Amino acid sequence: MADNKQDNLKNINAVPMDRFACGRYRILYPAMNMYNVSKMTISNPGTFRYYGQEWIFTQRICGEKTLKSLLDFKKQYNVKFIIDYDDIVWKALPDYNKCAINWEDNRKGMELYLNDVADKVTCTNEFLKKDLTQFVDESKITVMPNCLDYNRWRFDYYKPADKITFFYAGSPTHYTKGDTGDFSKGLVHYLSNKELNVQGIKPDFLRVKEVYPWVDIDDYPIAFANNALKSKFVIAPLIDNYFNKCKSDLKYIESCAVGRVCLVSDFPDCPYSAVAHEYQKIPLNSTATAINYIVERANDHYDEIIEHQYKVLNERWLKRDKYLQLFS
């Protein structure tokens, strides 16, 4: 008797727009997670071809020319699109963010074509969802927070040393030379006489003990764990602006996975506020003295915060069933 199970599988083509963190976390890792239970093809970044697929799962489609071409593609082949957004790239970026993004063209294209191209839209948080409703019907939008692949990010817990030390791994799009970016003045002052290690490019306004190099994103979980485990706290600062309210809480979730308390900024609609323990939050504009009190309190309640983080993490493993529900 023939096995017809394959006939019921969704035919999906995943098209990331880059090979870096955004493309991997938002498109490639979910696609690989669905690979054995769908007719999944994975294309090179930004490469749209028709393979008989029912759905195309892609990301950050914004510009007028690109969206118009995909609308023509959609009409020609009768294919459906799910488009994911994990950043706001249709408004002016903060001055410290030097990404060369033509947000005016992005916005124009989304205003003209996004609702016609996208059958569904996914995004990382509720604040970003609210902003996307100016371009697409709210009923089309599903919040899909960044999740971690269990096979890449499952680490055993190692108790930290007693000494209070810090680790930071962040993109230089969050600060620039001569501008502290997402580091508040109070935090910079507080860290000025503390032991701090950094992964990536060293911020010129911080005194850093050791700088660890960036690695390919597939090697990143182990590198992040190895480097973060040398310190007691991970720091994940943001300042209060529209761009940051649309950001993911990914740095927090990564810290949960490696078992180090993550000290996070706190302000209205901050992406960390909903998930973080109260004792690991640093209110915006806190002085160095206030931050010292917060860190000491977090140190006293370290195990309690770690337990909270693992509870959060258990809800944030990448689950293919949640993604498969989108393609219906």
The DSSP result for 113-141, as a single string, is IIHHH-SEEEESSHHHHHHHTTTS-GGGE
| pLDDT score of 3 | 46
In angstroms, the CA 200 to CA 220 distance is: 11
Which is nearest to 204 in space by CA: 167, 179, 235, 227? 179
In the chain, the percentage of residues whose pLDDT exceeds 90 is: 87
Alpha-carbon distance of 266 to 272, in angstroms, equals: 7
Tell me the pLDDT band of 25, cut-offs 50, 70 and 90: very high
Average pLDDT of the segment spanning 245-268: 97
Q: Which CATH number fits domain 150-314: 2.60.40.1180, 3.40.47.10, 3.10.400.10, 3.40.50.2000?
A: 3.40.50.2000
Chain centroid, CA 17 distance in Å: 15
Q: What is the pLDDT of residue 97?
A: 87
Q: What is the pLDDT of residue 4?
A: 47
d(CA 275, CA 294): 17
- Please give the model's pTM, rounded to 2 decimal places: 0.94
In CATH, what is the architecture of 5-144? 3-Layer(aba) Sandwich (3.40)
Query: Is 307's pLDDT higher than 60?
Result: yes
Rounded to whole angstroms, the Cα distance separating 190 from 205 reads 12
- 86 pLDDT more than 50: yes
As a whole number, mean pLDDT of residues 271-277 equals 96
pLDDT in tens, 87-115: 999 999 998 888 888 999 999 999 999 99
> Where do we find the tokens 């010129």?
204
Angle between helices 288-300 and 302-314 (to 10 degrees): 80
Question: Alpha-carbon distance 206 to 227, whole Å?
Answer: 18
**Domain limits of the chain?**
5-144, 150-314
CB-based contact 234:262 (threshold 8 Å): yes
Contact 79, 53 (CB under 8 A): yes
What is the structure's pLDDT at 177?
Answer: 82
DSSP 248-261: --HHHHHHHHHT-E
